[in-house]
Amino acid sequence: MATDLNTELSKKTAVFGLRVWEVIGIVVALFIIIILSMLSFCLTSRKKSRPWNKIPISQIPTVSKEIKEVRVEQVSTTDFVPHDGILTIHDKSSDKDSGKVMVHPGMGNQSDSFHHLETDGAESQSGEEGSSGTVTVYKPSSSYPITAPSPLIGLPEFSHLGWGHWFTLRDLEVATNRFSKENVLGEGGYGVVYQGRLINGTPVAVKKILNNLGQAEKEFRVEVEAIGHVRHKNLVRLLGYCIEGTHRILVYEYVNNGNLEQWLHGAMRQQGYLTWDARMKVLLGTAKALAYLHEAIEPKVVHRDIKSSNILIDDEFNAKVSDFGLAKLLGAGKSHVTTRVMGTFGYVAPEYANTGLLNEKSDVYSYGVLLLEAITGRDPVDYGRPAPEVNLVDWLKMMVGSRRSEEVVDPNIEVKPSTRALKRALLTALRCVDPDSGKRPKMSQVVRMLESEEYPIPREDRRHHRSRGGSLEIDSQRDNSDTDRSDYPGSRSESKRTQL
């Protein structure tokens, strides 16, 4: 039978004289080729029709949908101005600061260590058109707006999400030269920050969060929830993020003029020392950013790590509050949250350190320490000093109580502040570091205190105080018209007096 089968297969056919087995082989090969071609065509069609902008839902970080802009009645309408649907804070100091030298030259430095602002009197203001549009910037030197490109222009459209930009790990490796050591800007307990440049030329700061037992995921979510949707000129802007495998990376705008700690104690002093006006401009901007976080959005954001190294400074000496890795969200109706004590020694509010109860008044205390640090040029805690001077807050209270307030000013400030300006700053700081958190002012009140020319008290009231007490005494609660008395029970019957 096998012989018959071989005979049949070996017969010639009418197809080019080919044998039967040859024809069968050719037909089978053609069938396989057709099947493979159809599979290839289907795969190619599906790939082309796939929408690149659809990211799997499981990969998108959970972002609070409850963050929204609200109007705060306690905040003066002259301080907070709605702009393009985003509540921003109007900078009254821009007129006063224009044309002023922001830095005293250091010893032996060249004249180019001076930093000037524009000299025109017009205000500086900025507005945002969206992640893929343009930003309209009003420069002091011109009364006409000029358009500057958005930092996200030129990036692939499919990566855009609701509020920021979705970067691939490859994008950020290219931007940072494969996370080169030469690009490191700083390191902390939770990650490393690299300087980078996007494919469209925009300089950025890339924060690669360390994956320590899930801490990377936690900090990543905290920062995205805290500042992913908010916009303010004194908050460092979060441009986007990367989620790939275990990698959690945040991409911020790059602020290239150092931070307040570097200007007060570190490397930036080689360029000179900050003037009084520059310090107050940075501190006022910081106060406005905190007022926005505490009072202008819902849920409110408690930063929890306000310190000089987290206050970045741009070329025009505007403050940019950064590093929201420890931030907490405080929803409506909540007076506080209970949490593990975190922060930086010397800046942490005493009630938070003792009980773990956290609210926005903890940030107010930290801000008060920051203000004292800028006034004095001293670290919050300095063990190299005599015992009574180790703690900055305790030392300053002692100096003010001894009527030696003029001696606390940083000796590196060449042009000393006026007595009125110094008292205004000191009294504001002392109220912020009040041991009783209930007596600390709100940050919007701090903004008004720092901006008010009549603070702490008018000259006429000062004469009245002299006639009553025979000495210069400042009533830091009753005479401050910018402060809500309802925050201070018993202030009508008895006021605390601070002698300067």
Chain segment 481-497, per-residue pLDDT in tens: 333 333 333 333 333 33
For a pLDDT cut of 70, what percent of the chain falls above it?
A: 65
Is 208 known as a binding-site position?
yes
Q: What is the mean pLDDT of residues 307-335?
A: 89
> Could you give the CA distance from residue 435 to residue 431 in angstroms, rounded to a whole number?
9
> Could you give the CA distance from residue 452 to residue 352 in angstroms, rounded to a whole number?
30
Please, what's the b/e burial string for 366-383 (b: 16 or more CB within 10 A of its CB; e: otherwise)?
Answer: bbbbbbbbbbbbbbbeee
Give yes or no for residue 124 having a pLDDT over 60: no
Contact, 84 vs 128, CB < 8 A? yes
The number of CA neighbours under 13 Å toward the Cβ of 127 is 12
pLDDT band at 329 (very low <50, low <70, confident <90, very high): confident
Give yes or no for residue 355 having a pLDDT over 70: yes
pLDDT on residue 72? 37
Pairing of the two strands 497-499 and 473-475? antiparallel
Provide the 10 A C-beta neighbour count for residue 432: 27
Q: What is the pTM of this model?
A: 0.64
Give yes or no for residue 391 having a pLDDT over 70: yes
pLDDT on residue 119? 36
Give yes or no for residue 394 having a pLDDT over 70: yes
pLDDT on residue 141? 37
**Of 159-163, 171-175, 180-184, 396-400, which range is least confident?**
159-163
Average per-residue pLDDT in the chain? 74
CA distances from 186 to 115, 170, 177, 413, 441 (A): 24, 22, 16, 28, 33
Catalytic residue among 97, 305, 323, 482: 305
Q: What is the mean pLDDT of residues 265-284?
A: 91
Q: What is the mean pLDDT of residues 369-374?
A: 98
pLDDT on residue 275? 95
pLDDT on residue 365? 97
Higher-pLDDT residue of 378, 74: 378
Structure token pair of residue 442: 């709100």
Query: Is 479 a catalytic site residue?
Result: no
Structure token pair of residue 3: 């012989």
Report the Cα–Cα distance between both ends of the chain, in Å, rounded.
122
**Of 153-162, 178-187, 368-377, which range is least confident?**
153-162
Give yes or no for residue 30 having a pLDDT over 50: yes
pLDDT on residue 103? 73
Rounded to 5 degrees, φ, ψ at 389 are -110, 5
Higher-pLDDT residue of 192, 476: 192
pLDDT band at 151 (very low <50, low <70, confident <90, very high): low
pLDDT on residue 445? 96
For a pLDDT cut of 90, what percent of the chain falls above it?
A: 42
Give yes or no for residue 121 having a pLDDT over 80: no
pLDDT on residue 266? 84
pLDDT on residue 85? 38
